[in-house]
Amino acid sequence: MPKVLLVDDDVELSELLGEYLQQEGFDTDAVHDGEAGVARALDGGFDIVVLDVMMPGVDGIEALRRIRMASRIPVLMLTARGDDVDRIVGLELGADDYVPKPCTPRELAARLRAILRRARPPGETRGADEPLVVGPLSLWPGRRRAQWRSGTLALTSTEFGLLEVLARQAGRVVDKSELSEQALGRPLARFDRSIDVHVSSLRQKLGQRDDGRSWIETVRGRGYQFLLG
């Protein structure tokens, strides 16, 4: 049973979501401020964190920043509907996905399952020592481990999923709808910039090729491709 930490200052909403998620097979616990959320997220007892952006004191953005300094635990952000700034900042800081509030418990449960599938895919031990190698990149999908050149590549579960999809199809263009379905586990929504923000983060971590180009190239109007050679 996946263990979910809800971090939201809205006690009534937390109780409602917690009850629904329990019925959907999640083991949930809740705290109602950012400081407590960071401490509980880092104690190693949870599989995923649901983190509200709008909280007094330590808000969700600052809490996420502190969590990411020490942990790659999957984080789903709850953002105000229509607030693109919070969504983009959260994704840039390492959130795996977001759900705009007010959200339906059913959508939240679906997003959590999608993130957990990426973080801990079925058959994760099978082939764990068989890397996917593309140029200087080595991926061990079963262990969710990535190596770039000779060093470990620290990725969120969503970044790993995107990079794996692109690497498996290196040299060809992968459109955004396919990336969203395979890496985010959901259809691409109109005006959704999640893919773009995660790819931007991956580019920063991979750096540039010797010819000055990015390893992940944008093909305008279509999608992205991981370059060979």
Q: How many domains does the chain divide into? A: 2
Domain that holds residue 211: 132-226
Global pTM reads 0.79
Distance CA 11, CA 41 (A): 18
Is residue 11 included in any domain, yes or no? yes
| Strands ordered across the beta sheet of 174-175 | 174-175, 223-226, 216-219
Has residue 8 been placed in a domain? yes
CB of 114 closer than 8 Å to CB of 27 = no
**Same-domain pairing of 10 and 88:** yes
Domain assignment of residue 125, yes or no? no
State the alpha helices, DSSP H only, in the chain.
11-23, 34-41, 60-70, 84-92, 105-119, 157-168, 176-179, 194-206
Q: Which residue has the higher pLDDT, 157 or 127?
A: 157
User: Which CATH number characterizes residue 56's domain?
Assistant: 3.40.50.2300
Domain contains 70: yes
Residues 18 and 115 in one domain: yes
Pair (143, 105) in one structural domain: no
pLDDT of residue 66: 96
Distance of CA 78 to the CA centre of its chain: 13
pLDDT tens-digit readout, 143-178: 889 999 989 999 998 999 999 999 999 999 999 999
**Same domain (yes/no): 14, 115:** yes
